Structure 1
Amino acid sequence: MKSFSLPLLLSAAGLLAACGGSDSEEKEKIDYAAFDDADVKKLVDGGDYEKALEIIKAQDEMEISDKADFMTATEIYLSLMDGVAAEVAIEKARDAGASEADVSISLGRALMLQGKFDEAENILKNTEFEGEDKFQAFLLRGDISEQKGKSEEAVEFYEAAAKERPEDFRGHLGLALLYLNNGQLDIAKGYADTAASLIEADPIVSYVEGAIARYQGRTEEAKAHLLKATELHKRNMLAYFELIGLYIEGGEMDAAQKQLDAVYAIAPNSPMAQYYSALMLAIEGKPKEAEYLLLRTGDFTRTFPPAARTYGHVAFELGKYSTAQPYLERSLQRAPADRPTRLMLVECLTRRGQPARALLYLEPLIGEDSTDVEAMLQAAAAYGAQGKLEQTRAFIERANRVARADANTDPQVIQQLGQRLALSHFISGEEDKAISELQALYSEGGGDIESLALLANMQMENGDLDGAVVTAERVVAIDSNNPVAHNLLGAIEYRKRNLDGAIEHYNKAIEANGDYQSALKNRGLAFLTSGKFEQARDDFNAVLSKGAEDAQVHAMLGRAYLELGNGNDAATHLKQAEAIIPESAIIATDLAEAMALSGFKSSAITQAKKARKLGERDRNLVLYLDDLIAKWEKEEALAKIEAEAEREKRRAEAAKKREAEEKARQAIIDDGSLKDEEEKPEDKPKR
């Protein structure tokens, strides 16, 4: 449903146009004085606002403009939705002799465009209008009321306009727009039909008819009306945007792009156009490119709800969960039935350590009659994050039953559920049961690489490294270049402390898939452990360049920078890691060391004390931190003594310098006195 309000007068006059530049040499050749009002009107009617404004400005500089010229400029600026420029033009019209009656309606519109609703309302209240102006005033007051969120008041003014001039389509159109914006489509359609019967062809009427048809599901009819709206006015941005949305919903991306191209030709920097381009990129699976476009729209992602939703989804796909969360929350408030947004928000909360809140958001999807397998798995993850293994397994078993009961369920989904159920048994300490379940899944699935990979992971975690190697090699036998298998073999070699062997397998995994973040992360850890800090730094940076928010990677990269003696960069990444995992004593300790390395000993001591409290159960860590704190406090004390000694030295030097200067000054004074005494009385001037 539409989520922006469109004032009637602005929609009728404000079919957005874009002004470009013009060549200054060409201007010098034009005889601007030769243009009369009819010439300027012809330009305006043809949509060449830039040329019309150029002529009016030139004639103003030549002091041959009159009030009609400035009122024309006012209408152009109002059409361009530039309230400030319109207000300036109105002031010039006044200076040229325009009366308050001449400018009141236009000034009201200009003020409304600037959000000065009360000022605009006061002008309209305190002015007596007749004829067309009275009709226009009713419409404008309806627009203002709608912008202020006073729908009932807006209805009264639009109805008054329709009563004042029942034969004029604009009063009925105002009501149609109002009800369209409020989602009351049937009522909106009645008024739109009336408006259409009163005028043969109007771009805004066609737009409204098209928008209503779109949201009522009459797709082909909507297209016909909206295309007509763009034909009637080539700069009808409203109709273009409805068409673009309609085509995207129908998967007609080429048709949507064609309309977007038309918009960009008119307004190259249109935030709405950029939003739709970003939406198309997101649908095409290009979240990074979509994010770039959405960021270019500035505040638009916060003020336009569909853009906020898209940005939340894009940030989620990029793994930027803290960025995505507020956008998803805002979108869900406006559209509680938006299941994909709800599930993304739940996963963000779980990943960011807020599983209890995640479960609250899940409640509408996991009731007793629910068949939502994905929601059940999200619930299992949230309970798992809280360490509630019984509830975790219960939801996985429930999801498994629902999936198996549905004949249309993809066999791969059932297989994945079996894997998760096995994993839940493994986490609960039922390792043998979990492993046998996975072995059974593999037998059922033939070449099921995922089950084998999970089985190898479980064997590795269970300490059966030789069994894990055998299982991982079975994956290699199925697919010799499988990056998952080589990543697993690398992890097994790392567990065996064979770092060179681990790195060799990680290299193979990355050669097979250069974007395989798990292998990059694991290889970085192997480099870090083996003292190859520069290589570790490069791998961790490569992982973060993909846009993921991974606290472990930030922490390990911080450690790599520490080992390389770069305290500032170490602190930057460790602070990001601490923000995501604030309860980690190790991260807090490394951050303390980074602060000390950067020369901030006082802050380092405070941070180390925080780390000590977090790790108070780890005796070795506490002893290590106590040594660091004692060392840094001693260094701080010595630094203070040295600083005080340096200050005292400078004070002594300054005092000595002042004493020398005073002696020199006194010597000059004394020398002058001696000369006075040596003068003879007769040499002194007589008074």
Structure 2
Amino acid sequence: MAKFSKTVALAGCVLLTACGSSPEEEEQQKIDYASYDDAALEKLAADGEYQQALDIIKGQVELEIADSKDFLIESDIYLTLLDGVAAEVSLEKAREAGAPEEEISLRLARAYLLQQKATEAKETLEKAEFEGEERYQAMLLRGDIAQEEQDLEGARSYFQHAVEENPEDFRGHLGLALLALNQGQLAEAERYASHAATLVDDDPIIRYVRGSVARYQGRIEDAKEHLQKAVELHNANLLAYFELISLFIESGDTEQAQKQLDAVYALTPNSPMAQYYSALMLAIEGKPQEAEYLLLRTGDFTRAFPPAARVYGHVAFALGKYSTAQPYLERFLNRVPSDRVTRLALAECLTRRGQSKKALKVLEPLIGEGSQDLEGLLQAAAAHGSTGQVADARKYIEQAQAVAQSGDVQDQELIGLIGQRLALTQFISGDNEGAISQLRSLYADDEADVESLSLLANIQMESGDLAGAEETANRILALEPESAVGRNFIGALRFRERNTAAAIEEYTTALNSKPDYQSALKNRALAYLATQQFDLAKADLLKLENAGVEDAQVHAMLGRVYLELGEGREAANSLKRAEAIIPESAIIATDLAEAMALSGFRSSAITQANKAKKLAVRDPNLVQYLEDLIVTWQKLEAEEKIQAQADKEKQREELAKKRAEMEKARKALIEEGRAESPDEKKEEGADEEEPKSEEDDPPQN
């Protein structure tokens, strides 16, 4: 069970009491802020009218009548709303307004803890001295701090000490309940919470704990009862709201989930947690871009709260932003290794980013001997295939095909996809006839199988059977006359035939039918590049890049286009992105070296070119090209140094010449009597009377 760290600030926190829901909004009218004394503000807070209380305090600040007590009330409201940053600001204002440290310390420690600043919270408590009730609260808060620092034994010790000191106070038992809940010890959490419930009238946090336990144990109706009672008892019980939202999302009741979210937004419009749940609902609805926008607004929350990291990772994955998704998926999988969906997504991210060995390591729990995990086996095949280990890739695909054909899998589309992958590995391993036979058998089973026909056309084209590829492409067009796929294939064939103009025409037809068809955009950009139509190539490649495509070939082509256009810095940026995906590419490394040189960073270009040489060891022509570049750049570097030294020497000579001319002119003026010599000036200065200081004046009578 994922730990929500903000719960640790609750065990020692005395919640503001809520007395039912707030009344309906009345017509706005001018408020006499000065008429609200501390007692009136405290009552508003106790009644759950948080925003009204905050507005009045703001009004009093503007009237310059707010005092330290107002800021303390403000901080209590923010602590209730789990906004540690705002609470800290309010407490700083209270301190400036003269609030005594004993009224600030506990609150400030809670504010720090809500921000996950456990060290600062601990230091704040250590600097203060507490007595009576405040000492007891500080003890509970120290337990919360220990829990935040993952010192679970220390936390348990503090809470047990609180229980021993005052066994009739429910808060020590509640601290132990929250500790058990955050560790996933559900039976223990229920036992402590149930005992705490016998020591106090209905308490919202006890209800929250019991509702959470019931939810995780699958007792949905009990969970609803406890959690709804928790928000009824305290209408700002955000943790209970969030548990309810999770519960309704999991049960598919998005209407009720949204209702709870609306209540949270009414209390705290910028709540990162509420935004996370809104993003989760958008992701479930298949709206990853909208979900990403909301998650980005939460700032560091996606890093601090593991479930938010999971959602952001999957959203970025759905958008094809694999480098962004990877660290978030890794972070969550480290916490919850049993999350199969996250494991599969992470493996695919790694494979797509050229980290296939790492991907296979991630997949190990899913692909062991006798594995029946179809997706895991296919991911393993893809990872092996990306490193050129065709035999291993084929082994996993055959294993997946056996699982699919065992009768457990009824998805014929998936079975067809596995057959296509098997054909592809056969082709890569040199078994062209086997690959074509496999694809023809798939086509025979389903004459409308455009996917298999597309792969067949690719294999025929790559194996040099251009006539067969064209025949297959025409079959696709016969099935789907407006098919962008078919037109794209015909364009690729024309390009192979070196009829670039006809190829561009076919690609354009495909794009007229499907403007965002990435393969056609990339192919047309390549044709434009081949015909030196660099601006047109750039336009197509930028469409792909702006769509978030993480394709090394796209970045590399765009880098080459920028090079041809003389835009060195832009070229370097694109080529660095390509190199990050395929660091072993000698061509990309070479282009990046040229981009660096074009940008004026010749020394870095030489270093990059030497790196490219190591990668190009099997290509003697490229190695020679790089050596020539290095010699040229080194020569230019040396010439520039010599020229720079010569320029400096020339500047020194010119400066010395100017000084000599000025000295000559000055001497001429002296000889003509139009200027004084330095000696004459010194003599004149010696005759002048020194000015008197005030100390030399005679005393006044």
Aligned to 2:547: 546
1:118 matched to 2:119? The reply is: no
Aligned to 1:4: 4
Provide Cα deviations, 1:386-439, integer angstroms capped at 9, x if missing partner. 322222221111111111112443122222212222222111111112111211
User: How many Å separate the matches in 2 of 1:63 and 1:472?
Assistant: 79
Aligned to 2:485: 484
> Does the 8 Å contact 1:15/1:79 carry over to 2?
no
Aligned to 1:21: none
Aligned to 1:30: 32
Paired residue secondary structure (1:342) = helix
Residue 105 of structure 1 deviates from its aligned partner by 5.1
Aligned to 2:214: 213
* Same amino acid, percent of matched pairs: 57
Residue 266 of structure 1 deviates from its aligned partner by 2.3
TM-score by length of 1: 0.88
Provide Cα deviations, 1:73-92, integer angstroms capped at 9, x if missing partner. 56445435455346447657
5 Å-filtered alignment, 1:52-451, equals 52=53, 72=73, 75-76=76-77, 78-80=79-81, 81=84, 82-85=86-89, 87-88=91-92, 91=95, 106=107, 109=110, 115=118, 116-122=120-126, 127-129=130-132, 132-133=133-134, 135-451=136-452
Residue 241 of structure 1 deviates from its aligned partner by 1.4
| CA distance 1:442–1:15, change in 2 (3 Å) | farther
| CA distance 1:464–1:89, change in 2 (3 Å) | closer
Residue 193 of structure 1 deviates from its aligned partner by 2.4
Out of 616-625 and 360-369, give the one that drifted further.
Answer: 616-625
| CA distance 1:138–1:529, change in 2 (3 Å) | same
Out of 532-541 and 142-151, give the one that drifted further.
Answer: 142-151
Out of 660-669 and 329-338, give the one that drifted further.
Answer: 660-669
> Does the 8 Å contact 2:344/2:376 carry over to 1?
yes
Provide Cα deviations, 1:420-461, integer angstroms capped at 9, x if missing partner. 222221111111121112111111123111111111111101
5 Å-filtered alignment, 1:454-473, equals 454-473=455-474
> Does the 8 Å contact 1:83/1:112 carry over to 2?
no
User: How many Å separate the matches in 1 of 2:573 and 2:271?
Assistant: 36
Greater RCO (CA < 8 Å, at least 6 residues apart): 2
| CA distance 1:459–1:152, change in 2 (3 Å) | same
> Does the 8 Å contact 2:71/2:90 carry over to 1?
no
User: How many Å separate the matches in 2 of 1:59 and 1:675?
Assistant: 73
**How many residues in Structure 1 have an aligned counterpart in Structure 2?**
665
Give 1:456's aligned amino acid: A
Give 1:324's aligned amino acid: A
Structure 1 unaligned blocks of 5 or more = 17-24, 679-684
| CA distance 1:14–1:338, change in 2 (3 Å) | farther
Paired residue secondary structure (1:549) = coil
User: How many Å separate the matches in 1 of 2:634 and 2:64?
Assistant: 78
User: How many Å separate the matches in 1 of 2:109 and 2:237?
Assistant: 23
Give 2:278's aligned amino acid: S
Paired residue secondary structure (2:372) = coil
Structure 2 unaligned blocks of 5 or more = 19-27, 681-686, 690-701
| CA distance 1:611–1:155, change in 2 (3 Å) | closer
Paired residue secondary structure (2:593) = helix
> Does the 8 Å contact 2:670/2:676 carry over to 1?
no
User: How many Å separate the matches in 1 of 2:648 and 2:319?
Assistant: 53
User: How many Å separate the matches in 1 of 2:198 and 2:365?
Assistant: 46
| CA distance 1:393–1:576, change in 2 (3 Å) | same
1:13 matched to 2:15? The reply is: yes
> Does the 8 Å contact 2:130/2:138 carry over to 1?
no
User: How many Å separate the matches in 2 of 1:140 and 1:547?
Assistant: 46
- RMSD value, Cα: 3.4
Provide Cα deviations, 1:624-643, integer angstroms capped at 9, x if missing partner. 33443444444444434443
User: How many Å separate the matches in 2 of 1:497 and 1:675?
Assistant: 87
| CA distance 1:63–1:560, change in 2 (3 Å) | closer
Give 2:291's aligned amino acid: A
Residue 198 of structure 1 deviates from its aligned partner by 4.1
Aligned to 2:615: 614
Give 2:564's aligned amino acid: E
5 Å-filtered alignment, 1:634-649, equals 634-649=635-650
> Does the 8 Å contact 1:86/1:110 carry over to 2?
no
Residue 60 of structure 1 deviates from its aligned partner by 9.3
User: How many Å separate the matches in 1 of 2:563 and 2:387?
Assistant: 33
Out of 34-43 and 73-82, give the one that drifted further.
Answer: 73-82
| CA distance 1:410–1:190, change in 2 (3 Å) | same
Aligned to 2:578: 577
User: How many Å separate the matches in 2 of 1:574 and 1:91?
Assistant: 54
Give 1:628's aligned amino acid: L
> Does the 8 Å contact 2:320/2:550 carry over to 1?
yes
User: How many Å separate the matches in 2 of 1:535 and 1:67?
Assistant: 66
5 Å-filtered alignment, 1:468-617, equals 468-617=469-618
| CA distance 1:477–1:636, change in 2 (3 Å) | same
Residue 282 of structure 1 deviates from its aligned partner by 2.0
